């Protein structure tokens, strides 16, 4: 409405731009929450931009909703995210159920739908999540559980009911939710999943391990590592939850396997960083001479010791593009994106730094130069980079299985509120 009291219609091009930018930035965010160079303050700036575009769509009213709905003709996670936010804020059950059906038909879209429930405020979701949890449709119930998981809210008795139900989609989401919110009373249900088919057995092992099982559940994860079939998250959890002796023995095997190719070597380098084992530093330093893995090796050195290459002038100029980091044409096979935005280390300077500081390392296992106890993990959650913060969150969860795991992918203002709480 202008000064004369005349109601003006939203400008269509502006509304479309809001929708396009909200969708695109949501996809960018899904990358940044796992990025090696992003801190919480960087995530906060991006979140402010996303919130501004979502506010623009809300102010546009029905026009904003219509534009988001039309964008679903070419659906992706970003388009579904924007449309779901509008459906949540409009309390539009019909649109939400259409989005649920779309997320079943186009699996990539489910990430956008779930993330919208993680983004929305608890007040906006009040009543809506309860109706999803009570729904007969397993997909709707699973979405309600995912919302509880992302907000670290206990769904009560419905969680055990979903865990014991027949629908695989709700069972697996119930396992994830129970582990993330610390429902240790669901540990028996997670253990039962161990005897089921894959991927439920691994989901049960992960959940049970996070809920405190260091017996059969951890043995299941260690078995996957030994068989070479463990995903990176499973490998990481197994290393963090296992004894120092097992982790060191496993790391030796990974290093041996890494001699057979770049992809396996990169896996060993990542595992060395997760382990926090100071004894792995000399081997990691030797990897700095290989452009295909040097940035990843430097990241693992930083994860263990806390050294900041940029702040201490331990970087070098990137090598010439020809042949640098060449993966033989198979970038996906070696996870070349893991290197993106990492600094190029200067091997001589980094080695010199280590020679000058090796005797100052306070323990055989470290996280950013400190003993990885609760205090150090909380410090990393406040000030660390996203991949470092995730390791800190997992370590904290392993200390206290009954506690909720800190969500390093939550909206930045929610994370900041939790970190500032006494």
Place of tokens 């579904």: 80
Phi/psi-derived region of residue 277, left when phi > 0, alpha when psi is between -120 and 50, beta in every other case: beta
User: Could you give the angle at the alpha carbon of 146 between the alpha carbons of 143 and 152, nearest 5°?
Assistant: 145
Phi/psi-derived region of residue 50, left when phi > 0, alpha when psi is between -120 and 50, beta in every other case: alpha
pLDDT for res 337: 63
**Spatial distance between the Cα atoms of 125 and 121, rounded to a whole number of angstroms:** 6
Q: Is the dihedral of CA 368, 369, 373, 376 positive or negative?
A: negative
Q: Which residues of the chain have pLDDT under 70?
A: 1-8, 321-337
**Spatial distance between the Cα atoms of 34 and 42, rounded to a whole number of angstroms:** 12
pLDDT for res 176: 97
pLDDT for res 197: 83
pLDDT for res 9: 75
**Spatial distance between the Cα atoms of 21 and 24, rounded to a whole number of angstroms:** 5
Over the stretch 356-370, which tens digit does the pLDDT of each residue have? 999 999 999 999 999
**Spatial distance between the Cα atoms of 18 and 10, rounded to a whole number of angstroms:** 12
Q: Is the pTM of this model over 0.75?
A: yes
């Amino acid at each position: 409405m202008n000064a004369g009291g005349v109601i003006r219609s939203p400008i269509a091009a502006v509304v479309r731009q809001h929708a396009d930018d909200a969708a695109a930035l949501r996809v960018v965010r899904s990358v940044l929450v796992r990025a090696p160079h992003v801190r919480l303050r960087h995530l906060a700036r991006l979140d402010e931009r996303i919130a501004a575009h979502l506010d623009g769509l809300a102010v546009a009213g029905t026009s904003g909703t219509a534009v988001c709905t039309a964008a679903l003709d070419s659906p992706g996670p970003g388009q579904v995210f924007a449309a779901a936010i509008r459906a949540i804020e409009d309390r539009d059950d019909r649109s939400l159920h259409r989005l649920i059906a779309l997320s079943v038909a186009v699996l990539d879209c489910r990430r956008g739908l779930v993330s919208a429930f993680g983004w929305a405020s608890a007040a906006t979701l009040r009543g809506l999540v309860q109706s999803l949890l009570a729904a007969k449709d397993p997909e709707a119930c699973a979405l309600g559980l995912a919302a509880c998981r992302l907000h670290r809210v206990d769904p009560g008795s419905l969680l055990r009911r979903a865990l014991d139900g027949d629908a695989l989609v709700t069972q697996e989401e119930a396992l994830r939710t129970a582990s993330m919110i610390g429902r240790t009373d669901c540990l028996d249900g997670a253990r039962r999943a161990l005897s089921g088919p894959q991927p439920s057995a691994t989901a049960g092992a992960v959940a049970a391990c996070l809920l405190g099982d260091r017996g059969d559940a951890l043995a299941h994860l260690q078995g996957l590592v030994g068989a070479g079939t463990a995903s990176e998250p499973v490998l990481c959890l197994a290393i963090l939850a296992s004894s120092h002796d097992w982790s060191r023995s496993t790391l030796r095997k990974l290093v041996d396997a890494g001699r057979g190719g770049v992809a396996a070597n990169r896996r060993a380098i990542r595992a060395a960083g997760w382990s926090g084992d100071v004894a792995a530093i000399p081997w990691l330093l030797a990897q700095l001479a290989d452009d295909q893995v040097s940035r990843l090796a430097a990241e693992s050195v930083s994860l263990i010791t806390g050294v900041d290459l940029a702040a201490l002038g331990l970087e070098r100029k990137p090598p010439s593009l020809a042949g640098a980091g060449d993966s033989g044409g198979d970038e996906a096979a070696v996870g070349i994106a893991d290197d993106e935005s990492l600094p190029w280390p200067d091997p001589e300077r980094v080695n010199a730094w280590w020679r000058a500081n090796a005797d100052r390392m306070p323990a055989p296992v470290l996280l950013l130069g400190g003993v990885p106890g609760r205090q150090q993990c909380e410090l990393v959650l406040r000030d660390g980079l996203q991949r470092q913060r995730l390791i800190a969150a997992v370590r904290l969860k392993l200390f206290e299985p009954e506690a909720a795991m800190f969500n390093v992918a939550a909206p930045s203002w929610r994370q900041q509120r939790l970190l500032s709480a006494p």
